[in-house]
Amino acid sequence: MRAGPPRPLGLTSLTVARELAADYAGTLRRARSLGYSHFGFPLGPQSPRHPAVRDPGEVAALCRAAGLQVGVVRLAHDDDYPRQMEMAAKLGASIVAQSAADVFFTGETRGKTTRTAFEGWMERLAVMARAAREEGLRLVYHNHDWDHVPLAGKTPLELIAASFAPGEVDFEIDLGWAYVAGVDPLNLLRDLGPRVLSLHLKDVDASCSGNDCPRFVAPGEGGMDYPALMPWIDRVTDAQAYVEVDDPVDGMEAATSGARTILRARAAT
């Protein structure tokens, strides 16, 4: 294992969205007390499920007041990329993330598209990359399960990796979504190597089916065996790690459980 100070652990705003809505500053202070060092948040609305977004400048100030660093910030779903990149740089961010390609949401079936449509969307990704470079930022693309499904021979992740140079567009790998897609997380991290700049750590409840239960749970509460997996993750990547649980029943409990699992796994090695 690597010697040196403890590795940082981040938390995403999605995990504690309800708690933030009730008490933003208090939730950030609680996150810091749990051992989190970074906080990732959006620059604007991400989806109809999460339309309300606190002013990013205010969020950055609240992070600093709570003792947290500004982590990976997420691009809003609009096209004013130069403005968003300038804002991210002013906030103190170093990595900006594109959460998904919107071509996966425009067809009749969510998560389905064609290679032609995806390659057309990558022209927009190139615009984002240029805007990020001009502000000295690193741009990452975030995977979902559909990003591991081949489009006429190559997966979306493979198409991005082949179309953009390292440092132009890199990756934020969500291990939970990769697991859902049947992809071995460690092999994926090895394949992408230093192009993985950020990780989302969530677990998967295999017993969940339908819409009446949470599919994603805190690391350590599902079937991915994070206590055993985490030391190997830290061996193969230096990427910033963030606990992210989508729409948990209790966001603070998920953040608490996730931090406990990850920090204990790291301390045991």
* pLDDT tens sequence across 108-126: 788 999 999 999 999 999 9
Length of the chain, in residues: 269
Q: Is pLDDT at 51 greater than 50 in this prediction?
A: no
Write the pLDDT tens digit of every residue in 165-216.
999 999 999 999 999 999 999 999 999 999 999 999 999 998 876 666 668 9
Q: What's the number of CA atoms in the CB half-sphere (13 Å) around residue 207? A: 4
Domain ranges of the chain: 9-267
Lowest mean pLDDT among 3-7, 89-93, 203-207, 240-244: 3-7
* First-last CA distance in the chain: 7
pLDDT over 70 percentage in the chain: 93
DSSP 11-52: EETTTTHHHHHH-HHHHHHHHHHTT--EEEEESS--BTTB--
Res. 61 pLDDT band, cuts 50 70 90 = very high
pLDDT of res. 49: 52
Res. 47 pLDDT band, cuts 50 70 90 = low
Residue 73, classed as helix, strand or coil, is: strand
- CA nearest to 106, candidates 158, 154, 155, 146: 146
Taking the whole predicted model, whether its pTM rises above 0.75 is answered as yes
- Tokens representing 219 are 């690391």
Write the pLDDT tens digit of every residue in 206-250.
887 666 666 899 999 999 999 999 999 999 999 999 999 998 989
DSSP code for 182: T
pLDDT of res. 1: 42
Pick the CATH number of 9-267 from 1.10.357.10, 3.40.50.40, 3.30.2010.10, 3.20.20.150: 3.20.20.150
- CA nearest to 15, candidates 263, 258, 178: 258
pLDDT of res. 78: 83
Instruction: Tell which wins on pLDDT, 109 or 63.
Output: 63
Tell me what the mean pLDDT of segment 79-85 comes to: 95
